[in-house]
Structure 1
């Protein structure tokens, strides 16, 4: 029996549709992700022909020159604006081996079945195809979590979904069957003039609460959270919020790829290498 979704798929689609019209005013996190992906892609010395932009938002990802690009988004508005198809990342409608590059920036952290989505990504890649992903994870929104706990006292309610940390991200790549896996992170600190501005950004980037079990925040608790947020401000009246961007790189298996050295095949032991020189 399949486990129940932690996320509300219908709410996820609706939130994305509401965010689509004004997304350009709140796209700074995805812009940073796309910059990081472009840097990593620029270090790859090979050509691509068929590219999938997975979770395309406003189609801001620019594929390599001379490639064909397909776009997919779980929201109808973004999918339509990008000339793509609407579907969830863990229910991909593409044939195996359809692409040699898959880019996923900004949505994988809210996929119902992330291990399944990564496995499907690997299946849609041709042998030696490249996957580049990025999403919000780690210790992101630590200030928001703290003020919500403070505001709700002894009876806090889960209002933000669990974040994938860096180590788990790397493990997920291996579990999905991707080779030469790399997971790394970058941290952005954004300084907010008010609690409301942070909430506006989260709504504007379709990043508000998508948990299947959601409970409204009472007005008195919201006021306490806003006050706690303001109490953490610096001399300029702004409060820091943290966003950890997790970047993933993995390749579809191919016989031509370099293989890791067989355990025990090294010519010298680590102990010998660390031994101080004699004399």
Structure 2
């Protein structure tokens, strides 16, 4: 039986373009990077808690370089990649990593089960994978604003996101042992929809849909902006939630 080709929801070319744009935008003094910073801190906390000192590490997606720098300080041999240099939907060349960390990346691959299996195969026996990305509870106000922008026929403008239950099933399917999926939330306040979109672009989290719809016209943008502010506080700020899913699994 021929294997099924996964639907092409995301464009790797657009992901690479978004990453390059984010790196340019990071030159701004007030560029946002709080999501990746939180993920890096969380990974380091987990490694300290389990007292893991990996020898060979693969880090995917941390364009800040902070995680690799910290791990090298502890004596690890770290290889760094991003979407431009490593396609997670294909086998990883080496198969002997003690630790693989993927940040803000696996939620935008077309074949997530296959990508997880490739990462597991790249681990040495007893190795561990940690993958963090935005989960299904994220960006509630942005989704509401996009629906309000085109009330008659809303276009698919936002990424489909994975929830805890689906992530757990995918980890089992990829044959990880002792797999754990947990989530936490970050909350940030915004004075406008434009500021939220700017923060997402700063962090390489803009749209990477393979077939993006046409840009919103002026009237639709106005409706979206007004809808976004519907839940604003007395100070004119909207609280937006970023749910971070973290998938942890071992190969043994």
TM over 0.5: yes
1:18 equivalent in alignment to 2:21? yes
Contact 2:143–2:158 (8 Å) recurs in 1: yes
1:49 equivalenced with 2:55 (yes/no): yes
2: CA distance between counterparts of 1:252 and 1:66?
Answer: 22
The match for 2:222 is 223
Give the whole-Å Cα distance in 2 for the aligned partners of 1:218 and 1:175: 43
Report if the CA contact (8 A) 1:192-1:239 is conserved: yes
1:111 is aligned, of 105, 109, 112, to 109
Identify the match of residue 139 of structure 1 among 134, 137, 140. 137
Aligned to 1:267: none
Q: Give the C-alpha shift of residue 245 in structure 1.
A: 0.4
Give the structure 2 partner of residue 190 of structure 1: 188
How far has the Cα of 1:9 moved from its partner? 1.2
Q: Deviations over 1:209-267 (max 9, x none)?
A: 111121122221111101111222101110111110001110012xxxxxxxxxxxxxx
The equivalent residue for 2:40 is 34
User: Closer, same or farther in 2 for the Cα pair 1:92/1:142, shift >3 Å?
Assistant: same
Q: 2:81 — aligned with what?
A: 72
Task: Tell whether the 8 Å contact from 1:109 to 1:163 is kept in structure 2 after alignment.
Answer: yes
Partner Cα separation in structure 1 for residue 24 and residue 207 of structure 2: 19
TM-score by length of 1: 0.83
**What is the number of residues matched between the two proteins?**
242
Cα deviation for residue 187 of structure 1 reads: 0.8
In the alignment, is the contact (CA less than 8 A) between 2:90 and 2:115 conserved in 1?
yes
**Which string of whole-angstrom CA distances, capped at 9 and with x for unpartnered residues, describes residues 97-148 of structure 1?**
x211111111111122111111011000001101111110121011000111
Whole-angstrom CA distance in 1 between matches of 2:106 and 2:161: 11
Q: List alignment gaps of at least 5 residues for structure 2.
A: none
Structure-2 separation of matches of 1:70 and 1:197: 34
How many Å separate the matches in 1 of 2:196 and 2:208? 17
Deviation string 1:134-165 (CA, Å, 9 cap, x unpaired) is 11012101100011111210200111111100
Following TM superposition, by how much is the alpha carbon of 1:200 offset from its aligned partner in structure 2, in angstroms?
A: 0.3
Larger relative contact order (C-alpha < 8 A, sep ≥ 6)? Answer: 2
1:262 — aligned with what?
none
> 1:45 Cα shift?
3.1
Runs of 4+ in 1 over 2 A off after TM superposition: 21-24
Scaled by the length of structure 2, the TM-score of the pair is: 0.91
Q: CA–CA distance in 1 between the matches of 2:246 and 2:237?
A: 28
Superposition pairs of residues 138-217 of structure 1, within 5 angstroms: 138-215=136-213, 216-217=215-216
Deviation at 1:90, TM superposition (A): 1.8
CA distance in 2, matches of 1:52, 1:148: 37
Q: 1:92 to 1:70 in 2, by over 3 A?
A: farther
Give ranges in structure 1 of 5+ residues lacking alignment. 76-85, 254-279
**3-state SS in 1 of match to 2:246:** strand
Kept in 1: contact 2:98–2:127 (CA 8 A): yes
1:35 deviation in Å? 1.5
Who wins on radius of gyration, i.e. which is larger? Answer: 1
1:60 aligns with 2:59: no
Q: What's the offset of the Cα at 1:203? A: 1.2
